[in-house]
Structure 1
Amino acid sequence: MTAIIAYDRTVANLIDKLSATGHVTHKSYRKTSVTLHHNAGRYSHQGLLKLWTKRPASAHFDVDAAGAVAQYVKVNEYAWAVGDVPGNQRSISIEMANATLGPGWTVAEVTWTNAARLAGWLFAKVIGERPTKSNLFYHHHWSSTECAGPYMDQIYDKALAAAQEAYDHFKDSHPAPGPDTEPFPGESFFDTGRKSPIIAAMHHRLVAEGCNRYESSVNADAWGPGDVKSYAAWQEKLGFEGDDANGLPGKTSWDKLQVPNV
């Protein structure tokens, strides 16, 4: 399954389509920095994906000319982004569409501010450190290139300040509603008065997959009401990562949970 981030704004999910190009290494690493790039072109999300089907390259995210975000690679995986093995292992890369082409390679304010905001979220929710000059980089930090372009070089301090502002906003906030927090219509998932279908189905799947160590002490045939730890264990079993394995039931989990004869 894919693992799109639980950002508080819409994120277009292009993870599977990028994976189909083969231009990503499906191996996870602990991330310690964020790297900003420019497209070297005025690409849409789909246009960038099309480019990467021909060019052996990728990045975790792209922010387009309107400030919209797309995700191409799971945050902890190795994108083919910075031209440096340790850099690809440790950094999360964000591409930005250009507003103008060379030699200026400008980036619209709506694009770079939304990229900085996304970086702040990643520092708060994935990396766990405040962005500084020691961990928010441009592509040329890692390899011999002018990316993210002369315009972004001129406004680095503004980009860093915007990322820090976003980090400060997100670091103490409650988890943003993500793809697995949408309530399933008509279902009280942790209703103590009855066995809900989703709790029964979760039990069926977890026991089948050897997770019975989380079995409820109240009733061996059902998960305990409000058993967030058990639910998170199930999510992890099915491939949820990071903030998606949050122990909160929702429609995405329900859809993934469907098993015969539950």
Structure 2
Amino acid sequence: MTPTIAYDRTVSNFIDQLSATGHVTHRAYRKTSVTLHHNAARLSHQGVLNVWRTRPASAHFDVDAAGAVAQYVKVNEYAWAVGNTAGNQSTISIEMANATLAPGWTVTDATWKSAARLAGWHFAKVIGERPSRSNLFYHHHWSSTSCAGPYMDQIYGKVLAAAQEAYDRFKGAPPVPSADTEPFPGASFFHAGQKSPIIAAMHRRLVAEGCNRYQSNADADIWGPGDVQSYAAWQQKLGFEGDDANGIPGQSSWDKLQVPNV
């Protein structure tokens, strides 16, 4: 059986089953972008395969309504996905299941966030560039179609930010604050190997409160990849949840640090 990518989450394997349809071009190309699509239906992984068994189409991956991932085409191969020869050669295509049908074509948070994370992995492990507006596309970038749908158009900024965060984590680098993140006082210290009184204060608070997820030396005041996890753990102790506990020292985190006995 042809193996799937070495992802850190389960990837269901439909590569050989789709290859048997003949709707794959087994020729390798250098990939330089990722393109997101929608199913135009609420399809399971098996449902996607069933459609492609009779319809001459394919894509590298599909993400279902729960965020689970399946692979159909080897990453470096040509998928019949974007209606454009150059695009099919250069892009990695990821399909997404819809939550609702026309006219909104909405996609669940679980689905698009999983797709963005998968895109970030490919940018880190295959493409070698950070996601940006010049390399993370929707299907309509390549051909005349509304895919990935009006809902996905509305949230492109969130999708890009999630892909960038995933890329940073897979590369082992501290996350880069987005443009709308208000920098914390002393942000000029936000570099590995430079001392930061903000991070030192965070360390002292973590030790004082016995944070059991604290993973760095209690006396350290160096910003490094390990401290991203420490800062995220500290944010969780202050009540931040989900994406807000991202390990990025923002203004709201700094404000809470100033409040005694938080």
Q: Which TM-score applies when normalising by structure 1?
A: 0.65
Any idea what SS the aligned residue of 1:31 has?
Answer: coil
User: What's the counterpart of residue 127 of structure 1?
Assistant: 127
Q: In structure 1, how many angstroms separate the alpha carbons of the residues matched to 2:131 and 2:21?
A: 32
How far did 1:171 drift?
Answer: 1.2
Q: In structure 2, how many angstroms separate the alpha carbons of the residues matched to 1:100 and 1:68?
A: 18
What percent of counterpart residues are identical? 80
The residue type paired with residue 133 of structure 2 is K
The residue type paired with residue 157 of structure 1 is G
For each residue in 1:19-59, what CA deviation from the matched residue of structure 2 results, as whole angstroms up to 9, or x when unmatched?
00100000000000000000000000000000000110000
User: What's the counterpart of residue 184 of structure 1?
Assistant: none
Any idea what SS the aligned residue of 2:25 has?
Answer: strand
Q: In structure 1, how many angstroms separate the alpha carbons of the residues matched to 2:122 and 2:3?
A: 14
User: What's the counterpart of residue 170 of structure 1?
Assistant: 170
How far did 1:2 drift?
Answer: 1.2
1:87 and 2:87 are equivalent in the alignment: yes
User: What's the counterpart of residue 182 of structure 1?
Assistant: none
Any idea what SS the aligned residue of 1:147 has?
Answer: coil
What pairs up with 1:114-153 in 2 under 5 angstroms?
114-153=114-153
The residue type paired with residue 27 of structure 2 is K
How far did 1:115 drift?
Answer: 0.2
Any idea what SS the aligned residue of 1:95 has?
Answer: strand
Any idea what SS the aligned residue of 1:78 has?
Answer: strand
Q: Which runs of 4+ in 1 moved over 3 A?
A: none
Q: In structure 1, how many angstroms separate the alpha carbons of the residues matched to 2:3 and 2:89?
A: 18
Any idea what SS the aligned residue of 1:88 has?
Answer: helix
For each residue in 1:129-158, what CA deviation from the matched residue of structure 2 results, as whole angstroms up to 9, or x when unmatched?
000000000000000000000000000000
Q: In structure 1, how many angstroms separate the alpha carbons of the residues matched to 2:7 and 2:21?
A: 25
Larger RCO: Structure 1 or Structure 2 (Cα < 8 Å, ≥ 6 residues apart)?
A: 1
The residue type paired with residue 66 of structure 1 is A
User: What's the counterpart of residue 18 of structure 1?
Assistant: 18
User: What's the counterpart of residue 178 of structure 1?
Assistant: none
The residue type paired with residue 68 of structure 1 is A
How far did 1:3 drift?
Answer: 3.4
What pairs up with 1:196-235 in 2 under 5 angstroms?
none
User: What's the counterpart of residue 30 of structure 1?
Assistant: 30
1:51 and 2:60 are equivalent in the alignment: no
User: What's the counterpart of residue 251 of structure 2?
Assistant: none
The residue type paired with residue 146 of structure 1 is S
Q: In structure 2, how many angstroms separate the alpha carbons of the residues matched to 1:171 and 1:102?
A: 38
Q: How many residues align?
A: 173
Q: In structure 2, how many angstroms separate the alpha carbons of the residues matched to 1:26 and 1:64?
A: 25
Any idea what SS the aligned residue of 1:137 has?
Answer: strand
User: What's the counterpart of residue 238 of structure 1?
Assistant: none
The residue type paired with residue 110 of structure 1 is A
How far did 1:172 drift?
Answer: 2.8
Q: In structure 2, how many angstroms separate the alpha carbons of the residues matched to 1:172 and 1:91?
A: 24
Q: In structure 2, how many angstroms separate the alpha carbons of the residues matched to 1:76 and 1:57?
A: 17
User: What's the counterpart of residue 61 of structure 1?
Assistant: 61
Q: Which TM-score applies when normalising by structure 2?
A: 0.65
1:39 and 2:8 are equivalent in the alignment: no
How far did 1:90 drift?
Answer: 0.1
Any idea what SS the aligned residue of 2:145 has?
Answer: coil
Q: In structure 2, how many angstroms separate the alpha carbons of the residues matched to 1:111 and 1:25?
A: 27
Any idea what SS the aligned residue of 2:104 has?
Answer: coil
Backbone CA RMSD of aligned residues: 0.8
The residue type paired with residue 105 of structure 1 is W
Stretches of structure 1 lacking an aligned partner (at least 5 in a row) = 174-262
Q: In structure 2, how many angstroms separate the alpha carbons of the residues matched to 1:3 and 1:75?
A: 11
Q: In structure 1, how many angstroms separate the alpha carbons of the residues matched to 2:3 and 2:142?
A: 26
User: What's the counterpart of residue 72 of structure 1?
Assistant: 72
For each residue in 1:200-233, what CA deviation from the matched residue of structure 2 results, as whole angstroms up to 9, or x when unmatched?
xxxxxxxxxxxxxxxxxxxxxxxxxxxxxxxxxx
Q: In structure 2, how many angstroms separate the alpha carbons of the residues matched to 1:48 and 1:145?
A: 19
